[in-house]
Each structure stands twice: as structure tokens, then as C-alpha cells.
Structure 1
Amino acid sequence: MMNMKTNTFEQYESSVRSYCRHFPKVFTDAKGAVMTDENGEKYIDFFCGAGAVNYGHNNDYIKGKVIDYLATDGIIHALDMYTVPKREFIETLEKKIIEPRGYKYRIQFTGPTGTNAIEAAIKLARKTTKRRNIFSFMGCFHGMTLGALSLTSEMYARNGAGATFTDCTHIPAPYMFEGLDVIKYMQTLIDDDHSGVEKPAAVVMETVQAEGGIRVFDDEFLRDVREFCTKNDILMIVDDVQVGCCRSGTFFSFERAGITPDIVVMSKSIGGIGMPLAIVLHTDELDDWKPGEHNGTFRGNQLSFVAGKAAIDYLLENDVEAETRRKGELVKKYVTEEILPLDSRLELRGIGLIWGIDFAAIDSSLTEEVIEKCFEKKLICECAGREGSVVKIMPPLVIDDDLLLEGLSRVKKSIEEVLNK
């Protein structure tokens, strides 16, 4: 076995690098739910590019469409000019996903990251309502650029900016305080002339707080937020960057509640196989932009449009939504029967194929040891939540059952070793 050369990264790359510190191997290729390092060692992927490769690494169908397009000398960079791949992506998303679900959204293409799409969404909300403030929920993560970071509640991320954030009010999440009526709390903030809080342009929320520790907001709460926003002429923005594209068991994570947000933000797996793409979906009534008021040099990535269209065709042809729900039940059953009995203080939360095992009631610091043990056993996963107390299980949606169960077995063995040390 050769020693992998990592000194190049350590010598020349910025110290801001993070994931490679947990997974210090040089990776060469990946297929489905397996990544391979420079020594030929294979790792089960329960990380999934932070949700960017829901349909698996190098998905044959999606990759084939990209390769076919590249072979034609088709245009690659086109800003927001009209192109065939862009037209086909728009038509596919609208006709096969949005309209059949009863929604009516226009599509805005932003810079290719989720945080840029969040920036566009809150700019649009402020522009159309003529109000500045935004409500977001404690425990949320919405991005690392300044506007998105003002919404994000994680202090580690906020402190890195060295800036004073304004025009955002953080609301206690519904799981934080027993007995707190969060909707009544928000209503009081905007009704009480001594609350010190301005009426917001929008409420921005994840239906599942992923980085916040796999906190699934229940259907009733989502409907209550929708009603609150409608009643008070406030826009409802759903951040579906990580838990969209079937991750929760439906294409949009909010479908289970039967609601229609005013604005939806998507990135990560909307690009098919990790191709950079981000979009904002908004209603006709909100289409108040002037040409070029929000733009981005790479908002017209043609390979992303090709891959994104192929991904939609693939997920529909292979019933990925139903498969995600079925595999999610496998995860729930295995963890409930095999892992939770290891310590009564462990807690499981999740939906679809995003799950978290919470160590907060034992010792939050143990999760770092667990993911290190997992990596030793050739499984890649990460931590989430407050103080990193949650071991996050997020494999590609197309993972085979046997490989999924083998990965869960490695998680179990890792937890056993850490708890019994």
C-alpha cells in the first residue's frame, strides 16, 4: 500500500479546508454509494456530498447524457442566454415536477450555490414587500455569504465573518421550549408595539433542519407557519437546498404538509450528479425583478442543465421518491432495533433518507470519535447539530439495500466501541 501524498494540500491550500480533516485520504473515483481512495480502498458513502449526489456518484444515466452533450461541442457557458439545454431543463422541471404537483412557479437561475439562491430569495422578498426584516428559526443553516449568514444561527459560522448582522430576527424552533406556542410568539412580535421587532418581509425555514441536528418540523407546524404568513402578508420561503430533490421522500420536502410556499430555494442535487446549479422558484406575483438586478456569471451552466434534466427523468423512471421512503424505513428499523438499545439515552430523528443519532444526553463530544471509528471501518459520515452531537446518516438515495445495511452495521460497531471504551 502506498502512502498517499497529502502534503501538497497542507502546504498550499488554505486552512479553511474542513471535511478533508475528518477524511484524510486522497480519493480518486466514486460509483453509486462507494468512494475509492488512492490505495484502492473502498468506502461506503453516508455523506453524499452534503446532499449534492442524491442519485449516486457517476449515475450511469445522468453521466451518459452529460458525456453525449460534451461530444457535440454544445455550448458550455452562456450566462442567461437562451439555449437548448436550458429550455429542456425548464420544460422538464415545470411539466414533470412543478405542474403535476399543483404548483405554479417561475424559475430564477442564480449563481450556482445554495447560499447565492438564498441571497436572491431574501432580496426578492425585501424588494416586493418593501420590508427589511426576516424571521428565521434557531438551529437553521442557510449559507455562508453575508445575507444568508445573517439568517444562519450557528455562532461558529457567524463569528467567522467578523461582521455585525442586522435585519434578521431568530425565532425559537418548535422543539426548543416545551409549551411555547411559536406561532403566537411570532404574532406577538409583530403586533406588540413594544416588541422592538419590525414586521418581516419573510419567514425563511428548512422543513428539516439538517445541519441543526436532523430536526423534522411536523406537518401541522408547517401548515401553521403557512397560515401565519398568509394572515400577515408575509412571504414564506422554504430552503430546500439539502432536503429537496427527494431526500425527504418527496421531491419537495414540504409536500407532506400540503402547503405552497411563496418562494422555494434549491441547489445541491438539482444539478443531478454534483454539477453546480441553484434555482429560486417563486410565484408569478413576485416576479418583480428588473433585468440584471440579480445575476451571476455561472448561472447558465449548460452541463448542469443537462444533468439536472436527466436527474428528473431518472428519478421519475425509477420511482426514487417511493424508494427513498422505503429505505428510510429500513434505516429507522435498524437503528431502533440495533443501535438505540446500546444506550437508552440515544435519540433517533429523521425522515426519508436523512437521519440523525443524537448523543447530547450522553456526551456530545463522542460523535467525533464515532465518525473517526466509522472512517476506520471504511464508512464516511459526518456530525451535525448543536455541539456536533448528532451522527448524520445521509447515503445516496439509490444505495442498494445490502450496502445500506452494511453501512449501518459499521455505524453500530463504531458506536459500540466508543461507548465501551
Structure 2
Amino acid sequence: MPFDTANDKSIFVRRESEARSYCRGFDTIFTKASGSELFDAAGNRYIDFLAGCSSLNYGHNDPDMKQALVDHLMGDKMGHALDLHTDTKADFLAAMEEHILKPRNMDHKVMFMGPTGANAVEAALKIARKATGRQNVIAFTNGFHGVTMGALAATGNGYHRGGAGMLTQGVSRVPFENYAAGVDAVALLDQMLTDPSGGIDPPAAIMLETVQGEGGLNAASPEFVRGVAKLAKKHGALLILDDIQAGCGRTGTFFSFEEMGVNPDIVTMAKSVSGFGLPMAVLLVRPEYDVMGPAEHNGTFRGNTHAFLTATVAIKKFWSDDTFQRSLADKAVILTTALQDVANMVDGAFLKGRGIMQGVDVGTGELASAICKRCFAKGLVIETSGNEDQVVKVLAPLTTDEKTFREGLNILIEAAREVTSA
């Protein structure tokens, strides 16, 4: 008997692991996607404000990337290449050099590894430890860097760390900016590192996100990031900026830190770096710290040729001039205005994040989840984040046209009004 994809979800309950996550909040079977829209097996349309958790900054099935990929496949071009030299990898590196690195005065080498953000973090930690001869790494409260063992040690969330089944080691955790009222986190960290009885071993690296995506959209100020960068240099540590979720335009510029006056030693990238939602991770490493020997950190799929292809199209299409970046500033204003309308409905609610990576802290995970649930019923896919899932978080594709963007935001406003007035 044919499987009824429109109505029968029993196969997922019967065969898929309990580790499944997002599908629990969006209980339908999606079949098609275009731009900022999703469609399910029953033909229902949804506006996508999740975007693959910022893996689809350029929307679903961008026509130029799709056509390049189709031509590549039909031409019997390389599909898998380990880390062999290929024309697609050469094109990607050239585009990265011309349009991203050189304009920002970055001389970083580009390293490929397994295609997940967590693997980029693992590589960054290994490089820092090898380059400095130290083991300890400084990470911050509410940081999220992945759930493999090294990355998990640097992740603050206790639920995820509990899944390791063993101790996670090698990381000292300190307060992020504004984590504790009246605490100067940079001064505190400096004092602890300077004091021989401060209890923190000399670090190989200090690692942070400029906007903590899963941690609740806690946005670091430029002053904080510059302060951390100065501390890293003072104490002989490498500065690792995790741009996996906040990069590729999500905060308004290609890198989330590029207007902050810092030059990180290592940058981790994944998610939207492929442009098309294909698995791809990249590590940017200053040449003096490019210390890994051949295959010392590797991965069978570090040569994702299809991702190289679409990533090159994305860079050339969206970052060859400042047109796209200017459009993001306009959308950020629209987003801030709409989110303030939501915040005004809840006592004590406030906005968090920056750029097109913003949300509303509504105080409780229960309320945030109820709003997101109502949104889904009205045709909007949107999720929560934060230490208690109390932040309604907007991650719309950056390419969303203004009409669709406002439509989705109006759904969010209506859902919040219905939930708060019930």
C-alpha cells in the first residue's frame, strides 16, 4: 500500500530516533521550498523564519545556485574529491580571496574539514592547543559551539552537555557581557588570568560568538569584543570568533565582527557558507597559526564539491559590491519595529540581537513556545532560543522580499496578540 505522505507520519514515530527535534514543533511533512516559503504535502504554505537555523540565509533553491548545480551534475563534474585540487575548489578560494578576505584586509588561510560547524570548532580548538602548547580554553556563559566532545566542553547548555555521558574537559567558563548585573566581564577575566591564584590555567584560546544564537541572542558590544581581543593578545591566547550562525550577512555584514576593529586569529564558519544549504564548514586561520600537518585534522567530506560551487555563486552574487549589505540595513529597521510591537504586549519583554538576527525575550519559555505554536498554525515557521527558550527568534532568509517579510512579521504580531490576550 503506498505511503500517504500527506497524512501518515507514523514512519517517523516508528523508525526515527527520539533525538529528532525541530519536527516536534512543526508537525507536518514538508515537500517543497522556494525563496522564503515552505510547502507541505497537503499543499499548505508557510513563511520560513527559521531558514535552517541560519543555514539558508539566501533562501531556498536560489535559482542561480540551482542552475549552476544542475549544470555541474549534468556535466559529470566532480562529485566527491576528498581534498584533491578541483576547479570548483579553486573557484571558491579565488572568490573568497577577491570578494571577502582581501577587501577586509584578512590574510587568513582557508582550511576545510568535516562539513558541520561543530567540526570547525573542533579544528579551531586543536589548532589553538597545538600552536600554543596549552590545553585550557576560555569560553563564555550561554555560548553554544556544537555537541561533539571538544565543542561540547565549550558549550554552556547543561542539557546538551549532559548528553555526553562523560566529563567534558579543557574549558574554563566565564561570564559573557551583561551576564551578571554590574560585572565588568573583561576586567574580571583579566584579573583571574593575571592572579596566580585566580584558578584559570593560561589559555590556548578565548572563544566567543558576537551574537549568541542558541544562547538567547545575547549581542556583544564592540567594546566587549575588542576588550576580549586585547586580553587574548596580552595573555598569549588565540582569539577564536565563532561565526557559524551569526556570519554570512546575518548581522548585517559578511562577518559579524568586521566593524568591531578586531582581527581574529581563527574564524569558524558553516551553515550558510555554502549558500544553498549544502553541508560545508570552513576555518579561517592566520598564516602563523596554520600548524596542522597533512591530514592531521581531516574528514572524508572535506571536499564537498557541490558546496564549493554554490558557495562561489553566493559570494559573487551577493558580496561583489555593497548592494546586498545595504538592503540588510533596511530590513533590520523593519524587523526591529515589528519586534517592538510584540515586546509592547508583554510586561518586561525586550528586544535582543542585531541585524536580521533579532528576537524578543518574553520572559518564559512557556509563553515563547505558545507564540511560536500559534505562528505555525497561522503559516509561519519560527523558533525559540535562550537558556530557558524564552526568546522568540527571527532567522528569516536575508533575501526575503519586503512583502513576504512584513507578512511573516504580521503573523508573529497577530499570534503574540492572540496568545497574550487569551
User: How high is the TM-score relative to the length of structure 1?
Assistant: 0.97
Instruction: Output the amino acid matched with 1:316.
Output: W
Question: In the alignment, which of 105, 115, 124 is matched to residue 102 of structure 1?
Answer: 105
Question: What SS does the aligned partner of 2:203 have?
Answer: coil
Shift of residue 3, structure 1, vs aligned partner:
4.7
Question: What SS does the aligned partner of 1:256 have?
Answer: coil
Residue 339, structure 1, aligned to residue 350, structure 2: no
Q: 5+ unaligned residues in a row in structure 2: which ranges?
A: none
Residue 79, structure 1, aligned to residue 82, structure 2: yes
Residue 232, structure 1, aligned to residue 232, structure 2: no
1-side partners of 2:89 and 2:6: how far apart?
44
Residue 252, structure 1, aligned to residue 255, structure 2: yes
Shift of residue 344, structure 1, vs aligned partner:
3.6
Task: Report the equivalent of 1:326.
Answer: 330
Question: In the alignment, which of 309, 312, 315 is matched to residue 312 of structure 1?
Answer: 315
2-side partners of 1:214 and 1:183: how far apart?
19
Shift of residue 145, structure 1, vs aligned partner:
0.3
Question: What SS does the aligned partner of 2:388 have?
Answer: helix
Instruction: Output the amino acid matched with 2:80.
Output: H
Task: Report the equivalent of 1:180.
Answer: 183
Instruction: Output the amino acid matched with 2:324.
Output: V
Instruction: Output the amino acid matched with 1:385.
Output: G
Q: 227-236 or 126-135: which moved more?
A: 227-236
Q: 276-285 or 190-199: which moved more?
A: 190-199
Instruction: Output the amino acid matched with 1:284.
Output: P
Q: How does 1:135-174 map to 2 (within 5 A)?
A: 135-174=138-177
Q: How does 1:401-412 map to 2 (within 5 A)?
A: 401-412=402-413
Q: 255-264 or 313-322: which moved more?
A: 313-322
Instruction: Output the amino acid matched with 1:410.
Output: I
Task: Report the equivalent of 1:14.
Answer: 17
Shift of residue 324, structure 1, vs aligned partner:
1.4
Question: What SS does the aligned partner of 1:66 have?
Answer: helix
1:198-243 Cα shifts (integer Å, max 9, x gaps)? 0110001000001111111011111111111112211000000011
Instruction: Output the amino acid matched with 1:219.
Output: P
1:365-399 Cα shifts (integer Å, max 9, x gaps)? 11111111000001000010011000001100000
Q: How does 1:386-405 map to 2 (within 5 A)?
A: 386-405=387-406
2-side partners of 1:316 and 1:201: how far apart?
33
1-side partners of 2:6 and 2:64: how far apart?
35
Task: Report the equivalent of 1:295.
Answer: 298
Contact 2:110 2:285 in 1 (8 A): yes
Instruction: Output the amino acid matched with 2:253.
Output: T
Shift of residue 166, structure 1, vs aligned partner:
1.1
1-side partners of 2:82 and 2:15: how far apart?
32
Shift of residue 2, structure 1, vs aligned partner:
8.5
1-side partners of 2:27 and 2:365: how far apart?
22
Contact 1:33 1:56 in 2 (8 A): yes
2-side partners of 1:389 and 1:417: how far apart?
18
Residue 280, structure 1, aligned to residue 283, structure 2: yes
Contact 1:268 1:277 in 2 (8 A): yes
Shift of residue 117, structure 1, vs aligned partner:
0.5
2-side partners of 1:266 and 1:284: how far apart?
17
Contact 2:80 2:303 in 1 (8 A): yes
1-side partners of 2:319 and 2:5: how far apart?
43
* Distance change (3 Å), C-alpha of 1:3 and 1:292: closer
Shift of residue 70, structure 1, vs aligned partner:
0.9
2-side partners of 1:184 and 1:317: how far apart?
40
1-side partners of 2:320 and 2:199: how far apart?
52
Instruction: Output the amino acid matched with 1:417.
Output: E
Instruction: Output the amino acid matched with 2:291.
Output: D
Task: Report the equivalent of 2:119.
Answer: 116
* Distance change (3 Å), C-alpha of 1:136 and 1:332: same
Shift of residue 61, structure 1, vs aligned partner:
1.1
Question: What SS does the aligned partner of 1:75 have?
Answer: coil
Contact 2:339 2:359 in 1 (8 A): no
How many positions carry a matched residue from both structures? 418
Task: Report the equivalent of 2:201.
Answer: 198
Contact 2:6 2:29 in 1 (8 A): no
Question: What SS does the aligned partner of 1:135 have?
Answer: strand
Shift of residue 277, structure 1, vs aligned partner:
0.4
1:139-170 Cα shifts (integer Å, max 9, x gaps)? 11000100000000000101111110111011
2-side partners of 1:61 and 1:352: how far apart?
25
Question: What SS does the aligned partner of 1:257 have?
Answer: coil
Question: What SS does the aligned partner of 1:116 have?
Answer: helix
Instruction: Output the amino acid matched with 1:368.
Output: S
Question: What SS does the aligned partner of 1:67 have?
Answer: helix
Instruction: Output the amino acid matched with 2:329.
Output: R
Task: Report the equivalent of 1:375.
Answer: 376
Contact 1:277 1:304 in 2 (8 A): yes
Instruction: Output the amino acid matched with 1:76.
Output: G
Task: Report the equivalent of 2:385.
Answer: 384
Question: What SS does the aligned partner of 1:365 have?
Answer: helix
Task: Report the equivalent of 1:67.
Answer: 70
Instruction: Output the amino acid matched with 1:153.
Output: G
1-side partners of 2:329 and 2:136: how far apart?
37
Task: Report the equivalent of 2:417.
Answer: 416
Question: What SS does the aligned partner of 1:342 have?
Answer: coil
Instruction: Output the amino acid matched with 1:138.
Output: T
Contact 1:118 1:142 in 2 (8 A): yes
